[in-house]
Amino acid sequence: MEHANFPKNFVRYLKFIHEKGGKTTISELAVQFNVKKPTVVETVKKMQEEGLVMHPPYSPVELTRKGKGLAQELLWRHRVLEVLFSSLGLTVEESCVEAERLEVHASLEAVKRICSFFGHPRKCPCEKDIPAYGGCCKSEKR
């Protein structure tokens, strides 16, 4: 599935679960995104079909290897775009909103160029770590 075709929920859940250390619960997701538990269960089921998470009965929701890789890429995309927008004078909040709009639509090449332009930044404007993206940041000294 192309990034741009991912439902917004998938993208949000992936990033959230990754930030939680790769594991979370249905209740936590429901609270975080202000949706009912059955809705979360439905989304998680679809993500499971895409091989992004595992959710055995009575167990937490856990990222698969594929899900983890994708979550890291999405966080890298999001935060590199935040760096760009905040350098143009947008506030931290505005930068986050714009980054969320573009993170799945910008081409990989474009995000790599932005990342290089800013010297492969390690912190986003909200002081969060930017994960290194293989093929972009790893080859460079950080």
The CB-of-44 to Zn ion minimum distance in angstroms stands at: 25
Question: Is-contact 73 67, C-beta < 8 A?
Answer: no
CB of 141 to Zn ion, least distance (A): 11
Please, are residues 100 and 14 in contact by the beta-carbon 8 Å criterion? no
CA 63 to chain centroid, in Å, comes to 12
CB of 79 to Zn ion, least distance (A): 5
124 lines the binding site for Zn ion (CB under 5 A): yes
With CB under 5 A as the contact rule, the residue among 126, 129, 134, 138 that binds Zn ion is 126
CB 13 within 8 A of CB 43: yes
Give the count of residues interacting with Zn ion (CB under 5 A): 8
Task: Indicate which single residue of 52, 61, 81, 136 sits in contact with Zn ion (rule: CB under 5 A).
Answer: 136
Q: Is 75 in the site for Zn ion (CB under 5 A)?
A: no
- 82 interacts with Zn ion by CB under 5 A: yes
Helices 8-19 and 26-33: crossing angle in degrees, nearest 10, is 120
103: contact with Zn ion by CB under 5 A = no
CA–CA separation, 94 and 89 (whole Å):
10
Closer to Zn ion by Cβ: residue 62 or 98: 98
- The side-by-side arrangement of strands in the sheet containing 61-63 is 23-24, 61-63, 53-54
Chain residues binding Zn ion by CB under 5 A are 82, 115, 120, 124, 126, 128, 136-137
